[in-house]
Amino acid sequence: MRKRVTFRGRVQGVGFRATARSVARAHPVTGWVRNEPDGTVLLEVQGTEEAVDRYLEGLRGAMGRNIQDMDVILIPDVAGESGFQIAY
């Protein structure tokens, strides 16, 4: 499964992307994270449902004080993706 998540709040300039990548290393997930021009952070994460949910729980645990809101949608898987990257 793959989820696209938009995070709102104080999520830029606080190490959010680096934390997202670091948390991903502890979970069997792939994907990417990037800052958006409107001040949000966009993230796509892929793995089993359990792995994706645990990853997002870990990220919320690490950065929850900065997250005011998040939108989550299911999107199609990306074949052949490896690792979790900070996108620019």
The catalytically annotated residue of 17, 25, 34, 54 is 17
Tokens representing 24 are 């991903």
Q: Cβ contacts of residue 14 below 8 Å, gap of 6+?
A: 63, 66
Given a contact cutoff of 8 angstroms between Cβ atoms, the answer to whether 34 and 87 are in contact is: yes
Given a contact cutoff of 8 angstroms between Cβ atoms, the answer to whether 11 and 18 are in contact is: no
| Known catalytic residue at 66 | no
The catalytically annotated residue of 4, 10, 21, 35 is 35
In 3D space, the residue among 63, 70, 62, 61 whose CA is nearest the CA of residue 8 turns out to be 70
Residues identified as active-site: 17, 35
